[in-house]
A and B are shown apart, each in its own frame.
Chain A
Amino acid sequence: MRFLRIFWFHRCWTRRARTPNVASMLRYALKRLISLVISLAVASVVIFAVIEVAPGDPASFMLGVNAQEDTLAALRAELGLDVSKVQRYFNWVGGMMVGDFGTSYTYRTPVSQMIADRLWVSLPLALYALTLSTAIAFPVGIYAAARRGKPGDLTVMGATQLGIAVPNFWFAMMLVLVFAINLRWFNAGGFAGWDKGLWTGLHSLTLPAIALALPQAAILARVMRSSLLDILGEDFMRTARAKGLSRRQALWRHGVRNALIPVLTIIGLQFSFLLAGSIIIEQVFYLPGLGRLVFQAISARDLIVVESVVMLLVFAVITVNFLVDLAYAAVDPRLRSRT
């Protein structure tokens, strides 16, 4: 039965996607792809320009005030700082395209290696938080919409209003106070590492993920509720009831599925909030992720690291938004003609 349902959904999906609108979808995807490339190019110029404005010479910073001029010149040549700014920009962008982000001024190690090491903490944290946020928001939003105006709905709306107002780093501190210091269920900070096993790694990331997820879940639950309420007022929902489906059946078979379309967009947008939010949360939990790397780099004036991490985060956000747009256009053909 379950297989049949999946098969039916798959057929509907492929029919909708393939039959009449392949050309318009491709056109839309191409337009969005061009926009993505332009956005990335402009973003890289802005980031490079902002970093270039920064006062101070990295070579002098690394070698100190007493360094000899020839030593400084040699280091500048080694770091690729002895060429024009335009050349440096193209070297930086060209390097990033092949995975070479340059060499850290402070640690003298490849930035790509540093980022790769930290990504193993930040990315799972953002995905863990996204999963939690979705897992909390969906049932809560559906529950509130199904009980519109009743005490259950009002309680959920009140709780979500409060959830939006809570700063995640404060919430993180409260989680540490309760679950790490008082109950001792979790560590107050640090990351055990994935080499100790999946469970141990996830256990270290649980409190940070909850801290990141709950405020986002509050937003997502509200979006889910309002999206579902819009759908519940549609004619096809009345038709579903008229043909004999119970309220619950109509809600689950027709309501939730259609309400998911705008919710998916918000989930995509939340990814950027979670990535950015993880920068602060990593500070609370002393997690060795990209956030801590950025702050260490800022305090050491290791601007090549700051530049590369920021570009990577922007790239991730722009790409996720691009994928969300494509997914949205695939299920809602009106969007393709609008742009």
Chain B
Amino acid sequence: MSRSLILGACLSSLVLLAAAMSFVWTPYDYAALNIPDKLQPPNALHWFGTDHFGRDMFSMIMVGARTSIAVALVAVGIGMALGVPLGLTAAARKGSALDELIMRGNDLVFAFPSLVIAILITAVFGAGAINAIIAIGIFNIPVFARITRGAALSLWEREFILAARVSGKDAARISAEHILPNVANLLIVQGTIQFSLGILAEAGLSYVGLGAQPPTPSWGRMLADAQTMVSFAPHLALIPGLAIIVTVLGLNLLGDGLRDWLDPRIRVART
């Protein structure tokens, strides 16, 4: 296993653990106001300090991890659930009008700057985590459709697929039973990358007030709140920012490491 895989797995696990633990335990109630203790820098009682309402930053970061992960994970789920079948269908019907329609549709979605459309969706349907998920999820669909189609096209030329066709299986069954398991590694790696992009997108949307709404803590929202206080309480901006960086860095390293680990050619080249 590569160093990036181990480091990425450690960092990602740390964030996932913090998010999971926040369901059962946080050092303080993340929503409890405690004005006398406001704007404390990190100390023994409040490891990450307190915000302008005296809320414990460590607890908020833990619960914020939950929000970021939930939004990004569901967005990746939407992308995979719709993009993978579209990619498999396009590959199975290569050159057909359906293939052309799917791929041109993908091109069209790609042409939209994702953040702009996220803004459009939230402008019309209102700000909130659900709309942020939909906005981020829509842009994951063409990513997964393209990557699945690309990988599936080369598989359709292989002998074992020919054997499956000779045995009488139709395109849908071949896609499900033979193509999908063979592109799964690729999808896992891409899923990790899209997951990290989702975390960044969620933070961006929350920062401009279009993501999760108060009182639900989110890292982007915490940064937006910190903006006017950064000169006298820099920890308010530093800590949520570092949380985002650690998560995204961890997931990117995990994705890179998984790609190397799951690709037999790279493994062979290395040994």
Instruction: Give A contacts to B, CB under 8 Å.
Output: 35, 38-39, 42-43, 47, 50-51, 53-54, 161-162, 164-167, 169-170, 173-174, 176-177, 181, 272-273, 275-277, 279-280, 283-284, 294-295, 297-298, 303, 306, 310, 313-314, 317-318, 321
Asked whether B124 lies within 8 Å of A313 as measured between CB atoms, the reply is: no
B138 vs chain A, min Cβ distance (A): 11
Shortest Cβ distance from residue B211 to the other chain A in the assembled complex, whole angstroms:
12
A-B contact pairs, 9 of them (CB 8 A): A165-B244, A170-B203, A173-B241, A276-B114, A283-B208, A294-B119, A303-B123, A306-B120, A314-B113
Q: Which residue of A lies closest to B123 (CB)?
A: A298
**Which residues of A have CB within 8 Å of B238?**
174
Q: Is B213 an interface residue (CB 8 A)?
A: no
Query: Which of A54, A162, A277, A317 interacts with B124 by CB under 8 Å?
Result: A54
Residues from chain A with Cβ under 8 Å of B107 in the complex: 35, 39
Provided the pairs A54-B124, A173-B223, A181-B230 are in contact, do residues A310 and B116 lie with their beta carbons within 8 angstroms? yes
CA A283 – CA B117 in complex, angstroms?
Answer: 17
Q: Does B181 contact A (CB under 8 A)?
A: no
CB-based contact B252/A164 at 8 Å:
yes
Q: Does B33 contact A (CB under 8 A)?
A: no
* Shortest Cβ distance from residue A150 to the other chain B in the assembled complex, whole angstroms: 17
Interface residues of B in 116-150 (CB under 8 A from A): 116-117, 119-125
Count of chain A to chain B residue pairs whose CB atoms are closer than 8 Å in the complex: 118
Is B84 part of the binding interface, using a Cβ–Cβ cutoff of 8 Å? Answer: no
Known: A161-B252, A277-B115, A310-B117. 14 other contacts (CB 8 A): A35-B107, A43-B111, A43-B112, A51-B124, A54-B125, A164-B252, A170-B244, A173-B230, A177-B230, A279-B116, A280-B208, A298-B119, A298-B123, A321-B111
Complex Cα spacing A35 to B108, Å:
10
Q: Are A53 and B208 in contact (CB under 8 A)?
A: no
Contacts of B121 in A (CB 8 A): 50
Inter-chain CA distance A169–B222, complex, in Å, is: 12
Contact yes or no, A306 B111, CB < 8 A: no
**What are the interface flags for B236-252 relative to A under an 8 Å C-beta threshold, 1 for contact and 0 otherwise?**
01101100110011001
Q: Which of B123, B124, B196, B237 has the most CB of A within 10 A?
A: B123
Bound complex: CA A6 to CA B249 (Å): 43
Which of B119, B226, B241 neighbours the largest number of chain A CB atoms within 10 Å of its CB?
B119
